[in-house]
Structure 1
Amino acid sequence: MKSALRNALLCFLFLLARPALADDGFGVIMGTVMDANAFALVEGVVVTATSPSLMGEQTVVTDENGFYWIPQLPSGAYTLRFEAQGYKPMARELYVRINTTYRFNVELSQESLGECIEIPGRSASVPLSANRIRAGQSSSSASSRSNYSPPPPPSPYLLSQMSGRYGSGAAVETPRYDTSDKAFLEMYFQGYGVNPTVETEEERFSTFSVDVDTASYSLTRGYLDRGVFPDESAVRVEEFVNFFDYGYESGPDVPFAVHVEGFPSPSRPGYHVLHVGLKAREIPAAQRKPSHLIFTIDISGSMADANKLTVVKQALRMLVDALDERDRVSIVVYGSSARLVLPPTSVLHRDVLLGAIDGLQVDGATNVQAGLDLAYSLAASHLLEGGINRVILCSDGVANNGVTNADGIWARVKDYAERGITLSTVGFGMGHYNDVLMERLSHVGEGNYAYVDRLEEAHRIFVQNLTGTLQVVAKDVKVQLEFDPRAIARYRMVGYENRILAKAQFADDSVDAGEVGSGHTVTAIYEVKLRGEAAVEDFATLRLRYKAPEGGSSREVVKVLPSRVLRPSYASAAPPTRLSYVAAAFAEKLRASYWMRPLTWEQLISLHEGVGEPLRGRADVAELGSLIRRAASLDRRKDRFEQLAPVRTMDFDRVPRIE
């Protein structure tokens, strides 16, 4: 009985919480009212709707979030009038149709001011007001409001129902592409080569900036799901390795926990695989900082393709469900120019957010610079002190108007990152995709880069990993391994080619490096050749350098790596270590790494099967096996490789040295 009453109550509350859906036989007008100068929500504005279709008029007053809602309007021509003490009245006309919702956001100018100020031209020196203003109150005296209590966790739901819940209409199917299609061929990637083997007597230090991006893995999966072998330049080994959860434990009293293990290499005789894993401390979801997320959405013509804007909208609907009353969301869109769709709006107004998301439509060319300029201006004017200020760019990365490459806006993005406004990029779609731009922008903006090839991936980024995605716990994180030449003759770092740092940069606090979120893990794979004649207790020293999220001087963690972590065989290593090697080897095979030529696809499949339980039964690990088999069946490079001279063991030692 209690269950039935509870379900009935939930259904009733759900119906009450749907003002974004027009009542049957009527139309709805809704929106927000902003102060054009302070760019703050205005409470107490009288909104009056008049029409020959109405008996009289309908009047409502904006609430504390500047929100108004006028339901049950018959079809016809309407005049909306907005009036508030201290502001110039405004009137607008529109035509209302039944079963349709109209989102009408306005900005009111104060009596002593001129016309509304356009956001793109707003000066950073203009005094900023609080988030909300009561009508009749000056912007300078407005005060912000904040009272937060941790909400319950989001209600669970099945991934198989995502399309129905978060989309409008049927689920988006993964299309198969004609590989000769021009759009599909115009995918822009940049290869960074493959790291060489290094003599420790020449250089015993290996230094790199951490990377928690995962875009390369899901982008490659998008290729393979379409029956296409990926571009070799699209494959970044570290993003394959870091896609998977290795179950690292994190200590509550340390900023990073270190996990190291090794075993003889299955593909390179005489070498060991070294797995180095780091896990940042975890912050409970209830303790996450409040956030202001400015979604900057590409609505240009290229986003009309399958699995682009449609999936963006579905992903954003997921995010709205995962956020809570601590959070505000703004939406900026850009095509040929940029415009504001939704000013900073509390997640408590879920209906307003979803209405704005559902109303997104494709339009224009691609001026990413205009979109980011507007987003950053909005973020700066509503800077959440002590909170998370994040611009999230959702795009296929194509830029054909304004500044069309990452270098053109590098200084601006970097400057805002230093002021606490970070940038994350989320890629969507196949065909006309610019991986280079999306990756570079996220690196400069001190955020992260992900790629959404399916709704499950959107759920992983925006729901499962929400706190880790938003809450940075360490910035400018660098890792340095110092190999003892008495124990290690040679080494090679597998991946991280575009994250390599010089030895001297490790201690240089002016050098930017990667950011790590709550509970994020960073895993690196090395190949090392032991000196058999020397029995050394410790073979390397690991140093980790990082800054607090607020900046300041770096702190350092030092850990000695003992020889006892090296296992006698692949089978004797822990399942997570084996999984990391399979992920790395898969990426190496895809990008035709010289060092992986001896390992056949059949052997890689066997290694995957030997990962061991319980990991091999996990959905993402099982999918990895399926992707390996698919890649093996699609690989048409075999004939080219078979024509090359056989690889000899001695070839591995005759490689370039790092200068």
Structure 2
Amino acid sequence: MERGTNTYRAAVALLLGGMLITGCGASGDGARSSADHGVAGNGGPAGGKQPPAPGQPAPGQREGAAVEERDEAGQESAAPDYLSTFALDVDTASYGYARRTLGDGQLPDAGTVRPEEFVNSFRQGYEQPEGNGFSVHVDGARPGAGASDWSLMRVGLATRAEAKTGERPPAALTFVVDISGSMAEPGRLDLAKTSLGILADELRDDDSVSLVTFSDEAETRLPMTRLQGNRTKLRDAIEEMEPTDSTNVEAGVEQGYEEAVEGHREGATNRVVLLSDALANTGETQADAILERIGDARKEYGITLFGVGVGSDYGDQLMERLTNKGDGNTTYISDEEQARKVFVDQLPAHVELRARDAKAQVEFDRKNVKQFKLIGYENRKVADDDFRDDSVDGGEVGPGHTVTALYAVRLREGASGHVATATVRWLDPKTRKAHEESGSVETGAIDGRLWDGAGERLQVTAVAAYFADTLRGGDLPGTPSLGELASRARKLAASTEDSSVGKLATAIEQADRIRNGTGEEPSGTSGEGELG
């Protein structure tokens, strides 16, 4: 992980002073951003500095270049800044694939576990905005149990759901379907065909679709076609798909974007929908190189990419990278129930956009906050100074989506008052005009007891985050054992009457049994300590 010179010097100075303060890594272009920090000393301005007004320069603090103070040895040391900036992410594939893997009796690979995708798989109950932007909700609680000076802080963002089916603009969707040999396994091509059949029934007459398949080469099965009077033609093309040969994702994506450009509709939501196990073994197999070929289509025509993953052996990292860089999002389905959830219940969120290039920036009050750590979003970090640079890629968010970011926050002794201000910035999908919305939180709003008095949805969020962090070998303060997490999830499933929370409890129980079966003990409650 790259670190800037200032970060290195700050870390050395702080270590000499007997303190451990960790900074975040670099973003993809080498620019630094803040996520995992200590904010040392008791100096600083009274209260939190408010974010600049829209259009004003971003705050000038850079990692390792904030306030000066003296450590225990009397040496001056530069504390890291107190900003955390990231692109919004509505992906849920990591959680879906983890459930599939656990159901097959195996623990998921740590590299495929992304806590933000676990958290964003559950309803949060945030108040929706009246307009087309975001509402901002900030709260939290103390987990206790060996982490007495830590709190979990939740930053919740929500868009307005679509009120009626006819409210969204028409869609122009290009389906790119993997028909390689690996898709012959049950739960792959057969599920993709079922999913497309469900979607064909849900789309409107004024929507348009095209169908591209790929194995070692790509083929257009149906050019962009209005659905009115042509649904049978689409269903026939879907039914004719059969698995064959190798997996050339590059050919499929490139052909798909060519069809999307050819059939581009002004005023419609133009999107490529990739259904694949993402096990690329022919042609270009790296996401960046694949997307380089279709860069102009993404930028000039605003075509976004929605990835739907299938299969017990799934190229999670390729699909996630493709959709992140392709201005889209990804999900994972393993059965028809999940397919209906994605293509029926969540259809508007996947074919329409409320916001483009959305980013969030959280500014912590160094007077009250000693350390903070963003849980997840490692590959979505943005340099702090790029928050208001609208040429820097953010995340795409549809109607009815919620985005949640959890922070582990360590307050100073006697902290009182302002803790943090969260600001979301996004571009209107039609006008590309920038908008911002902010919300703040005080110490009293994150000082309650998590497991005894906090809202049920906050507790569900905490269980999902702790579960993900445990699966990838993390050590968040206050993490319960898997057995305790499963028990809490079961109780929450009953009190919320939410079947998805019951499935979370099942997944945690499966992980606990697998760990015990391989001789590993479930992780106990973490001791109090610094985040590393």
TM-score when normalising by structure 1? 0.66
CA shift in 2, pair 1:610/1:273, >3 Å: farther
Does the CA-based 8 Å contact 2:136-2:422 persist in structure 1?
no
Q: How far has the Cα of 1:247 moved from its partner?
A: 2.0
2:126 equivalent among 239, 242, 248: 248
* Residue among 243, 254, 257 paired with 1:362: 243
Query: Is residue 2:38 matched to residue 1:198?
Result: yes
1:377 paired to 2:258: yes
Asked if residue 225 in structure 1 is aligned to residue 103 in structure 2, the reply is: yes
Residue 135 of structure 2 is matched in structure 1 by 257
Do the aligned partners of residues 317 and 380 (structure 1) sit closer, same or farther apart at CA in structure 2, a change above 3 Å counting?
Answer: same
Q: CA deviation at 1:553?
A: 4.3
Q: Is 1:428 aligned to residue 428 of structure 2?
A: no
Task: Report the Cα offset of residue 308 of structure 1.
Answer: 0.6
Give CA-to-partner distance per residue, 1:62-120, whole Å, 9 cap, x none: xxxxxxxxxxxxxxxxxxxxxxxxxxxxxxxxxxxxxxxxxxxxxxxxxxxxxxxxxxx
Deviation at 1:526, TM superposition (A): 0.8
Q: Hey, what's the Cα distance between the residues in 2 that align with 1:555 and 1:646? A: 42
> Structure 1: how far apart are the matches of 2:219 and 2:416?
66
Q: Which fold has the larger relative contact order, with Cα–Cα distance below 8 Å and residues 6 or more apart in sequence?
A: 2
Q: Which of residues 68, 85, 89 is equivalent to 1:211?
A: 89
Given the superposition, is the C-alpha separation of residues 375 and 598 from structure 1 closer, same or farther in structure 2, using an over 3 Å criterion? closer
Deviation readout 1:36-86 (Å, 9 max, x if unpaired): xxxxxxxxxxxxxxxxxxxxxxxxxxxxxxxxxxxxxxxxxxxxxxxxxxx
Aligned residue among 377, 381, 392 for 1:496: 377
Q: What does residue 324 of structure 2 align with?
A: 443
Tell me what 1:136 maps to. none
Deviations 1:536-579 (A, max 9, x none): 2x211111111111363422222232334225212211111111
Q: Does 1:539 align with 2:419?
A: yes
* Deviation of 1:195 (Å): 6.7
Provide closer, same or farther for how the CA distance between residues 646 and 414 of structure 1 changes in structure 2, counting only shifts above 3 A: same
Tell me how far apart the structure 2 counterparts of residues 205 and 629 of structure 1 sit (CA, whole Å): 37
Q: How does 1:273-422 map to 2 (within 5 A)?
A: 273-284=152-163, 285-348=165-228, 349-418=230-299, 419-422=301-304
Identity %: 36
What SS does the aligned partner of 1:595 have? coil
CA distance in 1, matches of 2:176, 2:296: 18
Q: How does 1:265-276 map to 2 (within 5 A)?
A: 265-266=143-144, 268-276=147-155
Answer yes or no: is 1:237 the counterpart of 2:115: yes
Measure how far apart 1:611 and its partner are: 3.2
Q: Which has the higher strand share?
A: 1
1:484 has 2:387 as partner: no
Look up the equivalent residue of 1:579 and give its one-letter code.
V
TM-superposed CA distance for 1:232, in Å, is: 1.4
Alpha-carbon distance between aligned partners in 1 of 2:226 and 2:430, rounded to the nearest angstrom: 25
- Would the alpha carbon gap of residues 266 and 217 (structure 1) be closer, same or farther in structure 2, given more than 3 Å must change? farther
- Give the Cα separation in 1 of the matches to 2:242 and 2:172: 23
Corresponding residue of 1:568: 448
Q: Check whether the contact 1:575–1:613 (CA below 8 A) recurs between aligned residues.
A: no
Kindly report the root-mean-square deviation, in angstroms, between the aligned alpha carbons of the 2 structures: 2.3
Task: Using the TM superposition, give the Cα deviation of residue 254 of structure 1 relative to its aligned residue in structure 2, in angstroms.
Answer: 6.1
Structure 1 residues 646 and 601: CA distance shift in structure 2, 3 A = closer
Q: Which runs of structure 2 are paired with 1:99-118 in the superposition (5 Å)?
A: none
Q: C-alpha displacement at 1:421, in angstroms? A: 1.3
**Residues matched between the structures, number:** 456
Structure-2 residue corresponding to 1:6:
none
Paired residue for 1:81?
none
Q: Distance in 1 between matches of 2:168 and 2:178?
A: 28
Separation (CA, whole Å) in 2 of partners of 1:286 and 1:341? 28
The answer for the alignment partner of 1:39 in structure 2 is none
* Distance of 1:375 and 1:612 partners within structure 2: 41
1:503-514 equivalent positions in 2, closer than 5 A: 503-514=384-395
Distance 2:148 2:521 in 1: 20
Structure 1 unmatched ranges of 5 or more: 1-193
Do 2:90 and 2:120's aligned partners in 1 also have CA atoms closer than 8 Å? yes
Aligned-pair distance for 1:392? 0.8
Instruction: Provide, for residues 151-187 of structure 1, a one-character-per-residue CA deviation record: whole Å limited to 9, x for no partner.
Output: xxxxxxxxxxxxxxxxxxxxxxxxxxxxxxxxxxxxx
Deviation at 1:604, TM superposition (A): 1.4
Larger Rg: 1
**How many angstroms apart in 1 are the aligned matches of 2:219 and 2:421?**
52
**Equivalent residue for 1:620?**
500
Give 4+ residue runs of structure 1 displaced > 4 Å after superposition: 194-197, 636-642, 644-648
Letter in 1 for 2:260: A
Structure 2 residue runs of 5 or longer lacking an equivalent are 1-33, 41-78
Question: How many angstroms does 1:334 deviate by?
Answer: 0.9
Tell me the amino acid that sits aligned with residue 274 of structure 2. L
Match of 1:630 among 510, 514, 530: 510
Cα distance in 2 for residues equivalent to 1:292 and 1:637: 49
Q: Distance in 2 between matches of 1:362 and 1:612?
A: 39
More deviation, 293-302/552-561: 552-561
- Aligned counterparts of 1:436 and 1:647: Cα–Cα separation in 2: 29
Q: Partners of 1:605 and 1:369 in 2: how far apart?
A: 41
